């Protein structure tokens, strides 16, 4: 790869065509495989769950070893250095403090004989899926479990795939205890989502499932939605960096690559003010990519979905960003707060050259589970409300209902719902006053 594609902002349709092409793969085989797995879990339960775990994870699991023991968690703390445990604790505390500000209380307003309000109750049992395999993502544990804990969820069930030896990465276990997960099960993939959704003899069913995963996990979450709630169908990582010419190009290149190394389908876009700067940035990105351990993944991402867009001013760049609705939006510009009110569609906004995306991934406190594939146009980061149910409260005294019952009766009649109308009017018929 010699360089990254460069477009003028007037060619924005080419950019959108490239972004949209990420979703053009045929997922029908994955959907069929997942459907069969979920059906087996629902009908057969444990035996099917154990069989799929043996098949896909290589571990011979049963009812006696599927759940992580307290001893295994204690052992994990012995394997993780004290300084790293402290870093995880600091990160968890930042996440907890941020999400505490999102909490809302039950409210009821009283006006004469009318009472209206909302009850806020936590979901009683939630499932959190944490990817495993070759990499460990303790940050995913914190970002899913901590908000659920802040919301007051009484029982948080975590699922993560085991190694062939039946082990869970110690960082995952340490993070789970610090965050407050109640139970942890050694299971991954679509079979884990099925077990959480339908329940088995060994695994309790939950009411909502959150957490990232591969295409099979995403398809499983999509298929069990309705039986349980889900957070979102997360796609590949995305970043859009806006540069006004004031930031160090090395910073911008590094930030672009922070997402390119995630996945070959990651989308990485930088918006710069001149063609000359675009060409310099392209060279810097490639120079840094060449020395990455995950060079092949980053290069594939940059080749297929990496782009540099030339926009003459910050306003035009932000208008373009609102159209893209990226997962991560960095404003590597002077006085970024002056432009914050212009941002309409983004999962998270990072202000200034010293607020790089990984700050949000690991430490600052806002959630890193963010809408992707343009869904920031209508959805939000994972938050405390995702673990809360809202129940409306309606209370009318007789005198208040009498003032409006004829209007309600008329409304119901217009909709052809006579029993609705009768339910209102019967209270004021002769003999029932």
Residue 110's φ and ψ, nearest 5 degrees, are: -115, 125
- DSSP 8-state class, residue 239: E
User: What gap in Å lies between CA 125 and CA 122, rounded to an integer?
Assistant: 9
**Partners of 394 in the β-ladder:** 116
Residue 394's φ and ψ, nearest 5 degrees, are: -135, 125
Q: Are 229 and 385 in contact (CB under 8 A)?
A: no
309 three-class SS: strand
DSSP 117-147: EEEEEE-SEEEEE---TTS--HHHHHHHHHH
Measured over the CA atoms of residue 320, residue 321, residue 325 and residue 327, the dihedral's sign is positive
- DSSP 8-state class, residue 80: S
* 20-25: long-range contacts, CB 8 A cutoff, minimum separation 24: 22/235, 22/236, 22/265, 22/267, 22/305, 22/373, 23/235, 23/373
- DSSP 8-state class, residue 68: P
Give the number of other Cβ atoms within 10 Å of residue 355's Cβ: 16
User: What gap in Å lies between CA 198 and CA 416, rounded to an integer?
Assistant: 39
Residue 7's φ and ψ, nearest 5 degrees, are: -125, 145
DSSP 198-233: H--SSS---SEEE----HHHHHHHHHHBTTBEES--
Supply the residues annotated as catalytic: 327-328
Tokens of 18: 């490239």
- DSSP 8-state class, residue 430: T
Tokens of 348: 């998270």
Q: Strands, DSSP E only, in 161-297?
A: 183-186, 208-210, 229-230, 238-243, 267-272
User: What gap in Å lies between CA 213 and CA 217, rounded to an integer?
Assistant: 5
Q: Are strands 328-332 and 348-351 parallel, antiparallel or unpaired?
A: parallel
User: What gap in Å lies between CA 201 and CA 204, rounded to an integer?
Assistant: 7
């Amino acid at each position: 790869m010699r360089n990254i594609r460069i477009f003028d902002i007037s060619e924005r349709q080419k950019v959108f065509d490239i972004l949209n092409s990420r979703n053009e793969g045929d997922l029908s085989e994955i959907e069929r495989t997942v459907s069969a797995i979920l059906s087996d879990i629902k009908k057969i339960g444990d035996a099917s769950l154990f069989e799929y775990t043996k098949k896909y994870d290589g571990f011979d699991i049963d009812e006696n070893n599927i759940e992580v023991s307290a001893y295994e968690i204690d052992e994990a703390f012995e394997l993780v250095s004290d300084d790293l445990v402290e870093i995880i604790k600091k990160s968890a505390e930042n996440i907890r403090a941020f999400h505490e500000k999102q909490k809302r209380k039950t409210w009821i307003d009283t006006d004469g004989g009318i009472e209206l309000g909302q009850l806020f109750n936590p979901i009683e049992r939630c499932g959190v899926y944490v990817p495993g395999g070759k990499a460990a993502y303790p940050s995913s544990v914190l970002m899913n479990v901590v908000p659920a804990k802040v919301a007051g969820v009484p029982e948080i069930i975590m699922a993560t795939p085991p190694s062939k030896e039946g082990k869970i990465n110690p960082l995952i276990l340490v993070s789970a205890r610090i965050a407050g997960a109640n139970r942890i099960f050694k299971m991954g993939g679509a079979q884990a989502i099925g077990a959480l959704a339908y329940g088995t003899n060994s695994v309790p069913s939950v009411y909502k499932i959150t957490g990232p995963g591969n295409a099979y996990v995403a398809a499983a979450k999509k298929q069990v939605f309705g039986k349980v709630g889900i957070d979102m169908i997360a796609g590949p990582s995305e970043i859009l960096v806006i540069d006004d010419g004031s930031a160090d190009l090395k910073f911008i290149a590094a930030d672009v690559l922070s997402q390119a190394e995630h996945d070959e389908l990651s989308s990485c876009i930088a918006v710069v003010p001149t063609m000359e700067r675009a060409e310099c940035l392209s060279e810097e990105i490639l120079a840094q990519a060449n020395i990455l351990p995950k060079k092949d993944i980053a290069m594939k991402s940059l080749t297929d979905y990496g782009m540099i867009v030339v926009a003459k001013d910050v306003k035009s760049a932000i208008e373009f960003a609102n159209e893209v609705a990226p997962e991560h939006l960095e404003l590597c510009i002077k006085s970024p707060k002056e432009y914050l009110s212009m941002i309409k569609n983004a999962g998270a906004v990072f202000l200034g050259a010293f607020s790089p995306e990984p700050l949000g991934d690991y430490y600052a406190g806002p959630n890193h589970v963010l809408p992707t594939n343009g869904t920031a146009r209508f959805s939000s980061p994972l938050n405390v409300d995702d673990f809360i149910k809202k129940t409306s409260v309606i209370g009318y005294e007789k005198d208040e209902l009498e003032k409006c019952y004829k209007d309600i009766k008329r409304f119901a009649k217009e909709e052809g719902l006579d029993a609705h109308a009768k339910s209102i009017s019967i209270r004021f018929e002769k003999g029932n006053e």
